[in-house]
Structure 1
Amino acid sequence: MHAIRLHTFGPAENLTHEQVEDPLPGPGQLRIAVAAAGVHLLDTALREGIQGPLPEPPSLPTIPGREVAGTVESLGEGVAGLWLGKRVVAHLGFALGVPRGSSSSGGGYAELAVTDVDRVHEIPENLDFAQAVAMIGTGRTALGILQFTELGPDSVAVIPAAAGGIGTLLVQYARNAGATVIGLAGGPHKTAQVRANGADLAVDYTDPAWPDKVRAYLGGRPATVVFDGVGGDVAREAVALLGPGGRHLVFGWSAEGIRDGSAYLVDGVSEQVLGPAMMRRTGGPDPMRTLELRALTEAAAGRLAPAVQRFPLADAAAAHHALETRATSGKVVLEP
């Protein structure tokens, strides 16, 4: 098969498109002919070997990638034959990288991927492979974040990076709940997307006067919640829009690089909602799978529609570079 491999930590150009041996499904596993693989900003940090609030960097060489969708084409021992030929999507876990000929999980940037059968979801008929990958990745995260607040007609939600994968879904959810939705994005192309996605106001955060435009639109009404995956100056300005009792839900720091904390966090207002906090809030024996199922259900019902930006698998380096320079809209997906 062809796959993207990383031999040395460093820039996006270190990702190479190579021929490697096919991974083999072990007992309780199945092999997927990959049609779409999810790409995360976190992947770019792992590619550079960055540590901190992240899993440990993988051993090298490695095949990156944690989420795939495709068709089951091979079964390991003990897996029911009914899975063969099914359209499926799966989160492969944080065991990034598949040694050549190995049956271990991980390695989504490839034409074939192996995973445990209990990680797999059958894809609803009305979703394509890229949409399914988006929903078990960004969709799962968006629904996890939304557990930390209740939105309704009295809510004013400010959403930085509203043209991104998570931001797109947050805008839709908040709109469906009747909230006033303020979407922030960089540049006229992205603000047009945010407006078309249903935001009441779409504002270009590269304009220094953007907070004044928001205040003028709201007419003195304060924001009640900021959904923040950006950090930096945009986050500081957004937090200043909150009224008493307002909440700042933090799930990323794309403006400042991935890090463990930031000066824009405010005691009593800011809450970091990824990781253990989200899993505790979800509850149950398998919180991640619960959120994945919720996300797929919302998309299948038409209540949430992920935005997807597609790159050929061979162009994984270009996909990483676009993510790092904030030149993408929606969920980034590689297609073999």
Structure 2
Amino acid sequence: MYAIRQHAFGAPDKLVYEEMDAPAPGPREVRLAVTAAGVHLMDTVLRAGREMGMALPRLPMTPGREAAGVVDAVGADVDEAWLGARVVAYLGHERNGGYATHAVTSVDTLHRIPDGIDDDAAVTMIGTGRTAIGILEQAALSAGDVVVVTAAAGGLGTLFVQAARQAGAVVVGLAGSRHKLDVVLEQGANAAVDYTLPGWEERLDEVLGGVPSTVVLDGVAGRLGRAAAESLGKGGRHLYFGWASDEGHFASFSPQEFEKYGITSELAVGPTMFELPGGIRRLEETALQWASAGRVRPVVQSFPLARAAEAHHALETRATIGKVVLRPADGRR
């Protein structure tokens, strides 16, 4: 088989396309012939050797925590009815192995891919989608909300914009280029603001028309996340879940500021999400159902597996739209 291997921490060029033996499934495991593998910003952080709340993987390793494909081998104590099944799985924070033509995972992680969605959409929803569902459940958006979404052209952001508009909310998306603004508007946002331009905060106030936001969904953090949260009115909620900015920290408010502005700021991932009813498995199932029913349409930018280093570089430099996916079948193009 072919896989992306990492032998040292560092720049994207540490990801090397290599030929190696295909893994064999152990007890209660299956092997997938991978058709789509999800790429996370956290993958780029770990590749560079920065822990950021997660232990660094042992090297050499094959990255990738999400994979869709067809079951082509089963281990002991696995029903052979899985053979040939079209499935998607979150492989786990520690296991990895998705950036490859074949990957092994526990049978307990599998979901059959619903009819009507392709493998790119399925692999998007099993990780990024489940996170989006968990955050949206905590946000509990309604028609009375005015929602500001940072990184609105990203994998999570595009899902948030679609879901918020379905809930009847007014949505303003923040993104970093003219093309990205067009994507945000195509997802249904009422307005989009380029946060890379001087005076973008005033532009946000202008498109809000003097009406304070009620919810900010913030995956960027740092100064941008803080500025977006300052659009909130009394009773507003700042839900944060990522740090795509180069500053490497979440937006912060002092107790005095919380009292002054009358807002709340809360982490919407991690233990908070794990404690939602039904746990992570239920979030995965819901995410796949939403895509199958057409409630959301995952936006995907794909790269051939052999160009994983290019995909990482594009993601780190904010040159991507939607969810980044690697396709083993695309060869070296």
TM-score by length of 1: 0.93
Contact map agreement 2:161 2:187 (CA 8 A) in 1: yes
CA distance in 2, matches of 1:250, 1:263: 8
How far apart, CA to CA, are the structure 2 residues paired with 1:163 and 1:319?
16
Specify the alignment match of 1:102 in structure 2.
none
- Do residues 57 (structure 1) and 49 (structure 2) align? no
Partner of 1:283: 277
Paired residue for 2:266? 271
The question of whether the paired residues in 2 share the 8 Å contact of 1:8 and 1:60 is answered with: yes
**Contact 1:231–1:256 (Cα < 8 Å) also in 2:** no
* Structure 1 segment 171-320 matched on structure 2, within 5 A: 171-256=161-246, 259=248, 261-262=249-250, 264-265=252-253, 267=255, 268=258, 269-280=264-275, 282-284=276-278, 287-320=279-312
User: How far has the Cα of 1:214 moved from its partner?
Assistant: 2.4
Structure 1 residues without counterparts, runs of 5 or longer: 97-105
Q: Cα RMSD between the aligned structures?
A: 1.2
Percent identity at matched positions? 54
Displacement of 1:295 after TM fit? 0.1
Could you tell me whether the CA contact under 8 Å between 2:225 and 2:250 is conserved in 1? no
Task: Give the conservation status (yes or no) of the 8 Å contact 2:38–2:124.
Answer: yes
Do the aligned partners of 2:39 and 2:324 also contact (CA within 8 Å) in 1? yes
2:196 alignment partner, SS class:
coil
The residue type paired with residue 236 of structure 1 is R
Q: Which amino acid aligns with 1:293?
A: E
Distance 1:197 1:266, change over 3 A: farther
Q: Which amino acid aligns with 2:25?
A: P
How far off is 1:208 after superposition?
Answer: 2.1
- The residue type equivalent to 1:13 in the other structure is D
AA aligned to 2:145 is: S
Q: Note the C-alpha offset of 1:262.
A: 3.6
Instruction: Give 1:320 shift.
Output: 0.4
State the number of aligned residues.
321
Instruction: Give the unaligned 5+ runs of structure 2.
Output: 259-263, 329-333
In 2: Cα distance, 1:151 partner to 1:176 partner: 10
How far did 1:265 drift?
Answer: 4.2
1:150 corresponds, among 116, 124, 140, to 140
Query: How far apart are the structure 1 equivalents of 2:52 and 2:201?
Result: 32
Distance, in Å, in 2 between the alignment partners of 1:271 and 1:115 is 33
Q: Residue 271 and residue 310 in structure 1: after superposition, are their counterparts in 2 closer, same or farther (change >3 A)?
A: same
CA contact (8 A) 2:32 2:69 kept: yes
Q: TM-score, normalised by structure 2?
A: 0.94
Alpha-carbon distance, 1:301 to partner: 0.4
Aligned residue number for residue 261 of structure 2: none
Counterpart residue type for residue 215 of structure 2:
V
SS, match of residue 225 in structure 2: helix
CA–CA distance in structure 1, aligned partners of residues 210 and 93 of structure 2: 45
Q: Secondary structure at the match of 1:77?
A: coil
Instruction: Tell me by how many angstroms 1:277 deviates.
Output: 1.1
Q: Partner of 2:84 in structure 1?
A: 85
Letter in 1 for 2:304: P
Aligned AA (1:300)? S
Report the residue type matching 1:77 in the other structure: A
